[in-house]
Structure 1
Amino acid sequence: MSQEKLAIRTVIFSMLGNALLSGIKFLAGIFGNSFALIADAIESLVDVFSSILVLIGLKYAQRPADENHPYGHGKAEALITFLVVGFLIVSAVTIAYQAIQNIRTPHEGPASWTLAVLAAIILWKEISYRFVLNRSKKLQSSSLRAEAWHHRSDAITSVAAFIGILIAIWGGEGYEKADDYAAIFAAGFILYNCYLIFRPALGEVMDEDTHDDLTAEIRKVALTVEGITGTEKCFIRKAGMKFHVDLHANVDGDLTVREGHDIAHDLKDTLKKEIPELGHILIHIEPFD
């Protein structure tokens, strides 16, 4: 199965799971009188829409290179990540605003059975987080990483809701607002995760080169090619799930232009074979005595 298809299946898994959990949380929050659960449901609902955006971005990023986009359309994935962050910020602000309104208004405490619902949700979201995060690392996908952190932030907000409801139940009269303070904490954590998601995507758009491990692997593979005596500059840019490379390679300075050209092609083909996640590769031959 291709990287792109595997990524799309992972997003669909997240989207269906979030849609189901959002409905469960809304019902439990309404009938269990817990705004923290309703806030949690709002986040899950926003995650469904953000998953749709990620899905669109992944499909668009699959488009092959063309005359106007010689390096392909992989940058679309990072741009979609920005939209996902925007959705998360809106949901965090909405949750915090409504929680503050609830704190100002006296209301009944949450039902005890909502704790069982939250415990099951926390377990499922943590499993989902680890599953999607492993896929994001395997596929080198920034949007899948954002998707994974949606699950982790959802798990954390559910933990906050659990603690808030537990305090409200144990404390009894006068502690009903603990549920709402838990929702405010959840909103703050969502905003913190927004930064964690936004920063790598921004680096990708700005062609930030922080791929030291990949650089080392490229240099190591290059030395296995006959005729290559060493490497100099190695610049890497990430676009979607592919890495575009500019590499300066050393060869014998007495070789003919054609011989140097053939070695460059051998190097390019070897890098493509040994490191499949590489996209466009530009080899510059440096004469070395």
Structure 2
Amino acid sequence: MALQSMLAACCMTTLKLAAGLISGSLGVLSDAAHSGLDLVGSGITFFSVRVSDKPADEDHTYGHGKVENLSAFFEAGLMAISCAWIIWEAIQRIRHNSFELRYSAWPVLVLLSSIAVDFWRSRELRSVAEQTGSPALATDAFHFASDIWASLAVLAGLLATWAGTALHIDWLRYADPIAAIFVSLMIIRITTQLTREAVGVLMDQIPAETRMRVIREAEQVPGVLAVEQARVRRSGPNYFADLTLALPRSYTFEHTGELVRAATEAVHRAIPTADVVIHTVPRQARAESIFDRVRAVAARNNVAVHDLSVQSHHGKLHVELHVELDENLPLIEAHNFVSGLEAEILRETPEIDSVLTHIESEPATIEQPEEMVEENRRIEKALRDAAAHYEEIADVHQILVGRTGEHITLSCHCTLPDDLSMRQVHEVITALEDRFKLDCPEVHRVTIHPEPVTDNTR
């Protein structure tokens, strides 16, 4: 489309120049100069559209889209220069009365043809610009639309001047240069707006409402605490959005990834074609409990904790927790690490008065159990006998007895009523474990997985 526009501008410039020289009309000559600049502008647009379509590379990581905005800025400058020359020449003709128009049908035919061609070019370019979002093509379409009014004004001035000469009305003889001045002032006004828009894009200026719309959409994503930073820029028809979101620090990496995808979709609702980059920062949620804050400290130090409890003694809160550390870590290093962890917990939760940490070893090697059939059967029977003492327990199954070195371990699934609370579940499982260990004290570790009756009967 840009190439067709350039060829049309070349044709019309030649015809207007010939008609202006034949008639001696400043209006027609100024329109020819205007069309000549259209030719230059169309060439720039053709070049810039081709360059802006190139993908991003190592030197232009945001692509080449701003070439179009630079082209629009340059084209607007050419329009302003042409208007200044036309106004100066028109004033000189009016001051010195140094012009004489020659009657000819050619200028009229050329101007009418120019109006028809400009109407076609403006409509086609506007359609393509709306489809592609190209600012250079949009500027060209706006430019050719203004040319229609310019050509109409020049035609009216030319006809009025001829009428004034034929009817001996002196003031009508100035209609041609006055029309040229009017057209130039109109184009300068349009050029000023185009220049302001081009400079704004080159300076990464976007409408404030666009940025606020992006922020509002991102803030509505469940889980986002706040949008701490939002930057939006435009390069040609493309938008780039860079956001920093505050998320609860308790979220896992996978949960954070899902939320980032949801936030990206939210930004696309505001700017459908935007290239979105989202950074996340962990923040303390307003509804965080003491347990959440203690676990956050542990996660920040990359250690696993369990059996976390908080007790109140004489109005003061006391925290106990188990921390798993590498089994090969020396005691002095483990103690220093835990001491630092406790100090950080106290800073994070000032309402806590004291912290007691139980250090457990986290196996660094894969356990290789050795099965002993008869002994395993005895241990399994002891577990089932112990479970029979509790009416809440429907059954125990998937019992697995293993050995690692000198240690015996046992794991099983325990079926309980659906509506039993977690507190009651914990009490029953603890009682079962205690009773079982009375009969089998040699078992080093017992792991019981509770599950509801409904799930077990599927």
TM-score, normalized by the shorter chain, greater than 0.5: yes
* Contact preservation (8 Å) 2:218, 2:224: no
Pick the structure with more helix per residue: 1
Aligned partner (choices 12, 17, 23) of residue 32 of structure 1? 23
CA distance in 2: counterparts of 1:272 and 1:15, whole angstroms: 35
CA distance in 2: counterparts of 1:69 and 1:228, whole angstroms: 35
CA distance in 2: counterparts of 1:248 and 1:284, whole angstroms: 5
Could you tell me which residue of structure 2 aligns to residue 238 of structure 1? 234
Change in Cα spacing, 1:230 to 1:219, as seen in structure 2 (3 Å) is: farther
Shift of 1:196: 1.6
What is the DSSP-based 3-state SS (H/G/I as helix, E as strand, rest coil) of the residue aligned with 1:243? strand
Could you tell me which residue of structure 2 aligns to residue 191 of structure 1? 188
CA distance in 2: counterparts of 1:182 and 1:109, whole angstroms: 17
Change in Cα spacing, 1:117 to 1:73, as seen in structure 2 (3 Å) is: closer
TM-score normalized with structure 1 length: 0.81
Could you tell me which residue of structure 2 aligns to residue 178 of structure 1? 175
C-alpha distance after superposition, 1:251-271 (max 9, x if no partner)? 565321343135324654786
- Tell which structure's C-alpha radius of gyration is larger: 2
Could you tell me which residue of structure 2 aligns to residue 285 of structure 1? 280
Change in Cα spacing, 1:276 to 1:230, as seen in structure 2 (3 Å) is: same
CA distance in 1: counterparts of 2:113 and 2:126, whole angstroms: 20
C-alpha distance after superposition, 1:25-47 (max 9, x if no partner)? 12222223322112111111111
What is the DSSP-based 3-state SS (H/G/I as helix, E as strand, rest coil) of the residue aligned with 2:173? coil
Shift of 1:77: 1.9
What is the DSSP-based 3-state SS (H/G/I as helix, E as strand, rest coil) of the residue aligned with 2:61? coil
Could you tell me which residue of structure 2 aligns to residue 160 of structure 1? 153
Shift of 1:117: 3.4
CA distance in 1: counterparts of 2:187 and 2:270, whole angstroms: 39
Whether 1:206 aligns to 2:199 is: no
User: What pairs with 1:101-140 in structure 2 (closer than 5 Å)?
Assistant: 101-103=92-94, 104=96, 105-111=98-104, 114-140=107-133
User: Which range is displaced more, 228-237 or 22-31?
Assistant: 228-237
Aligned partner (choices 36, 45, 53) of residue 44 of structure 2? 53
Could you tell me which residue of structure 2 aligns to residue 141 of structure 1? 134
Could you tell me which residue of structure 2 aligns to residue 66 of structure 1? 57
Which structure has more relative contact order (CA 8 Å, sep 6+)? It is 1
Could you tell me which residue of structure 2 aligns to residue 76 of structure 1? 67
Change in Cα spacing, 1:222 to 1:15, as seen in structure 2 (3 Å) is: farther
Q: Which amino acid aligns with 1:126?
A: F
CA distance in 1: counterparts of 2:201 and 2:127, whole angstroms: 20
* Unaligned ranges ≥5, structure 1: 1-8
Change in Cα spacing, 1:120 to 1:271, as seen in structure 2 (3 Å) is: same
Whether 1:20 aligns to 2:11 is: yes
Change in Cα spacing, 1:259 to 1:157, as seen in structure 2 (3 Å) is: same
Q: Which amino acid aligns with 1:207?
A: D
Change in Cα spacing, 1:250 to 1:134, as seen in structure 2 (3 Å) is: farther
Identity in percent: 26
Shift of 1:99: 2.6
Could you tell me which residue of structure 1 aligns to residue 347 of structure 2? none
Change in Cα spacing, 1:195 to 1:110, as seen in structure 2 (3 Å) is: farther
CA distance in 2: counterparts of 1:179 and 1:209, whole angstroms: 41
Q: Which amino acid aligns with 2:52?
A: A
CA distance in 2: counterparts of 1:190 and 1:219, whole angstroms: 39
Could you tell me which residue of structure 2 aligns to residue 6 of structure 1? none
Point out 4+ residue stretches in structure 1 off by more than 4 angstroms.
217-223, 227-231, 248-253, 269-276, 286-289
* Contact preservation (8 Å) 1:43, 1:91: yes
CA distance in 1: counterparts of 2:152 and 2:123, whole angstroms: 17
Pick the structure with more strand per residue: 2
